Amino acid sequence: MNKKILLLTGLGWMFDAMDVGIVSFIAAALVGEWQLTSEQVGWIGSINSLGMAIGAMLAGLFADRWGRKPVLLASLLIFSLASGLSALATGLAIFLLFRFFIGVGLGAELPIASTLIAEHEANETRGRAVVLLESFWAIGWILSAILAYFVIPAYGWRVALIICAIPALYTVFLRSSLPETKRQTVKKVSFGEAIGRIWAKPYLRATVVLAILWFSVVFSYYGMFLWLPTVMVLKGYSLIKSFQYVLIMTIAQLPGYFSAAWLIEKAGRKFVLVSYLVGSAASAWAFGSAESLAGLMISGILLSFFNLGAWGAMYAYTPEQYPAVIRATGAGFAASVGRVGGILGPLFVGYAVASQFSFGRIFGIFLCITLIGAAVVGLWGKETKGISLDRQ
């Protein structure tokens, strides 16, 4: 396993996660400071995903045309600058504008980073390496929860955003030493041809399966996790207490990733995806229906464990569906469709809360959407464990 590439890519992934995670805590704080409605809180998460949808699609095309490394560095630079500038926002509109550009950078980076890792790894360690890359996301979320707990109540949300932006900008320089993938020596194709080929008969089923999988996972993740601190507040817990409880839930993401990283090379990609998505669906329903603190904590911990383990497997599974010449385009398209789910998920919760839907009903929708993703992969997905990525 190439530990240097994993570490350099993972650090950027971690700081990206810190920014996304801190926004879930900032949203809970802004409800009081800016007197936001639940619909407006939903837009904070959704505008980020709108940018990610655009960034993922464009980055996939650019990376297949011009290389993984330059697109990766440019995406991280956009993300870092927009993140720091968002700390200066004086109202919701300008805050949303910066969140959009943060999303463009983040959406561009994630599928390209996982593709680069996959292309540098041997067949027998590739899946594990990509899931371990994803585990840096959990570390970033844990750091964001710690930051929120100690910084936001004492120093305010602006300071927390600046703290997140500075190390993310630093990783631009760290990643400049990343090697370009050797598979970038393959013949280049035009943007139109690349898009056409992912929809051609040999890859049509894979493209459809990945689109549904990504939509179901991202819709559920952003709908649930960006709302977790706010949901805890709405269930009657103080802002500081909600931060504390979500931190505990977030720590469970790490064993979720590590268990998926171990299983993915033992039992295969499909087994991990289907079993972890079913576990995520059951945990979502339990969290929405829970009334006691113990019930909320146990279901929240299980939700973090299974949902983020499924994320890791999804990132490993996606680039394995396509040959090198269209691999980033295919991964970028799948991620872009997923970000549509990321737009709709937080908005759905915001408008459902405003319409006085019960949390059991709201999280029941997440159960159904997640089960659809599991069923599609289980019935029509292709197992890719151990395949070679050197095919053209």
Nearest-angstrom CA–CA distance, 366 and 352? 13
Q: How many CB atoms lie within 10 A of CB 78?
A: 20
Query: Could you identify the residue written with the tokens 């305010």?
Result: 156
Nearest-angstrom CA–CA distance, 231 and 243? 11
Q: Give residue 274's pLDDT band: very low, low, confident or very high (50, 70, 90).
A: very high
Domain residue limits at 241? 3-175+188-380
DSSP state of 185: G
- According to the model, what pLDDT value does residue 64 have? 79
Asked if the structure places residue 27 within a domain, the reply is: yes
Residue that wins the pLDDT comparison between 235 and 274: 274
Nearest-angstrom CA–CA distance, 290 and 293? 8
What value does the mean pLDDT take over residues 328-348?
88
User: By the 8 A CB rule, do 256 and 138 touch?
Assistant: yes
Taking 80 as the threshold, does the pLDDT of residue 297 lie above it? Answer: yes
- According to the model, what pLDDT value does residue 231 have? 78
Taking 60 as the threshold, does the pLDDT of residue 186 lie above it? Answer: no
User: Could you read off the pLDDT of 162-183 as tens digits, one per residue?
Assistant: 888 777 677 667 666 666 665 5
What value does the mean pLDDT take over residues 355-384?
94
* Percent of the chain whose pLDDT exceeds 70: 93
Taking 70 as the threshold, does the pLDDT of residue 347 lie above it? Answer: yes
Asked if the structure places residue 65 within a domain, the reply is: yes
Helix, coil or strand: residue 284: helix
* Residue 165 burial class via C-beta count within 10 angstroms: exposed 0-12, middle 13-18, buried 19 and up: buried
Helix, coil or strand: residue 237: coil
Taking 70 as the threshold, does the pLDDT of residue 187 lie above it? Answer: no
Residue that wins the pLDDT comparison between 263 and 81: 263
If you write DSSP's letter for every residue of 106-142 in order, what string do you get? HHHHHHHHHHHHHHHS-TTTHHHHHHHHHHHHHHHHH
Asked if the structure places residue 97 within a domain, the reply is: yes
User: Could you read off the pLDDT of 104-128 as tens digits, one per residue?
Assistant: 988 888 778 877 888 877 788 888 8
What value does the mean pLDDT take over residues 342-357?
87
Residue 65: CATH number of its domain = 1.20.1250.20
Work out the angle between the directed axes of helices 201-225 and 38-66 (0-180°, nearest 10): 150
Q: Which residues contact 371 (CB under 8 A, 6 or more apart)?
A: 277, 278, 281
Query: 260, 372, 380: which is closest to 321 by C-alpha?
Result: 380
Q: Is 67 left (phi over 0), alpha (psi -120 to 50) or beta?
A: left
Taking 60 as the threshold, does the pLDDT of residue 328 lie above it? Answer: yes
Asked if the structure places residue 163 within a domain, the reply is: yes
Nearest-angstrom CA–CA distance, 103 and 83? 10
Q: Please measure the distance between the N-terminal and C-terminal CA atoms of the chain and give it in whole angstroms.
A: 23
- According to the model, what pLDDT value does residue 141 have? 83
Asked if the structure places residue 386 within a domain, the reply is: no
Q: Give residue 371's pLDDT band: very low, low, confident or very high (50, 70, 90).
A: very high
Whether this model's pTM surpasses 0.85: no
What value does the mean pLDDT take over residues 73-90?
86
Angle at 15 between CA 14 and CA 17, to 5 degrees: 65
Q: Which residues contact 143 (CB under 8 A, 6 or more apart)?
A: 14, 18, 21
Residue that wins the pLDDT comparison between 12 and 384: 384
Asked if the structure places residue 181 within a domain, the reply is: no
Helix/strand/coil (H/E/C) assignment for every residue in 189-201 = CCHHHHHHHHCCH
- According to the model, what pLDDT value does residue 180 have? 65
What value does the mean pLDDT take over residues 138-154?
86
> Token pair for residue 79?
């993300």
Taking 70 as the threshold, does the pLDDT of residue 10 lie above it? Answer: yes
Q: Give residue 392's pLDDT band: very low, low, confident or very high (50, 70, 90).
A: very low
Task: For the chain, give percent helix, strand, coil, nearest 5.
Answer: 85, 0, 15
What value does the mean pLDDT take over residues 130-148?
86
What value does the mean pLDDT take over residues 181-196?
69
Work out the angle between the directed axes of helices 201-225 and 191-198 (0-180°, nearest 10): 90
If you write DSSP's letter for every residue of 331-366 in order, what string do you get? HHHHHHHHHHHHHHHHHHHHHHHHTT--HHHHHHHH
Asked if the structure places residue 370 within a domain, the reply is: yes
Taking 90 as the threshold, does the pLDDT of residue 230 lie above it? Answer: no
- According to the model, what pLDDT value does residue 260 have? 93
What value does the mean pLDDT take over residues 322-349?
88
What value does the mean pLDDT take over residues 270-274?
96
- According to the model, what pLDDT value does residue 305 have? 95
- According to the model, what pLDDT value does residue 184 have? 47
Asked if the structure places residue 125 within a domain, the reply is: yes
- According to the model, what pLDDT value does residue 390 have? 60
Residue that wins the pLDDT comparison between 242 and 210: 210
- According to the model, what pLDDT value does residue 94 have? 93
Top-ranked range on mean pLDDT: pick from 113-117, 126-130, 312-316, 342-346? 312-316
> Number of structural domains, the chain?
1
Phi, psi angles (nearest 5°) of residue 267: -100, -15
- According to the model, what pLDDT value does residue 176 have? 67
